[in-house]
Chain A
Amino acid sequence: EVQLVESGGGLVQPGGSLRLSCAASGFTVSSNYMSWVRQAPGKGLEWVSVIYSGGSTYYADSVKGRFTISRDNSKNTLYLQMNSLRAEDTAVYYCARTTGGYSLGYYYYYMDVWGKGTTVTVSS
C-alpha cells in the first residue's frame, strides 16, 4: 500500500528548531518529487518546499533560509528541518508525493499521495 506517515511535530518556542519526518511505503521517495504543504489553524493550504528526484530543492519565500528539505534514500524518508521558528509557522504540516502524468501529450504535476499531517505549534 502506498502510504506516507509524518512525525516530529510538537510545541516549540519561538526561535527554536524542529525536524519533521515523513516515512514512505509502497513507493520510492528518491524516484519522485516530494513536497511539504502546511495549513495554519482555520486557514488554507500553503506550499512550503519541494525536493526533486534529482535532488534540487526549492522553498516558499516565507520559509527560505530557515527550512531545509532533505531525504534519506536508505530509510525512504523525507525530512523538513525547521529553524528560527516563528509563531506564524504554527500549522499542520503534510508531506505529499508530487508526481505527474500525461494528458493530451503534456506532462502535468500534482500531489497524489498525502500523509495525515503532523502539528507544529510555535509558542512561548
Chain B
Amino acid sequence: DIQMTQSPSSLSASVGDRVTITCRASQSISSYLNWYQQKPGKAPKLLIYAASSLQSGVPSRFSGSGSGTDFTLTISSLQPEDFATYYCQQSYSTPGFTFGPGTKVDIK
C-alpha cells in the first residue's frame, strides 16, 4: 500500500505570507496527487488535482507542483479564509484513495 506523509504537521503564518506544504508518497505516484482544504466542522474542498491542475473556482493564489514522490502545495499570499487543514491524496493506486495526515495552517 502507498503511504502518504505531509510536513509540517502544523504551521503558523500571517496574512500575506507565502506558505508551502509538502507531501511525500512512499513510492512513485507520477502526478496522481490531489489537494483538499478542510475548515473546522466542514467537508473537505478540492483545490488541486493531477498535482498541479487548479479546480474550477479555486483562487489562483493556490498552486501545486511535483511528480513522482514529492509534491508541494503553495499559497502565494495567505488570506484570512485560508486558515484551515490541508490534505494530500493519492489517486495512483486506486481503488484505495489514500490521504495524507494533514497540515493545519493557523494564525501567527
- List A residues at the B interface (Cβ < 8 Å): 35, 37, 44-47, 50, 52, 58, 60, 94, 96, 98, 101, 103-104, 106, 108-112, 114-117
Contacts and interface: CB of A to CB of B under 8 A. Distances in A.
A44 B44 contact: no
Contacts, number: 79
Given A46-B99, A98-B97, A103-B50, A111 B31 contact: no
- For the residues of A in contact with B, the DSSP-based class is strand
Nearest to A98: B97
Contacts of A47: 89, 96-99
Contacts of B45: 114
Interface of B: 30-32, 34, 36, 38, 42-46, 49-50, 52-53, 55, 87, 89, 91, 94-102
Nearest to B30: A106
A113 to B, nearest CB: 9
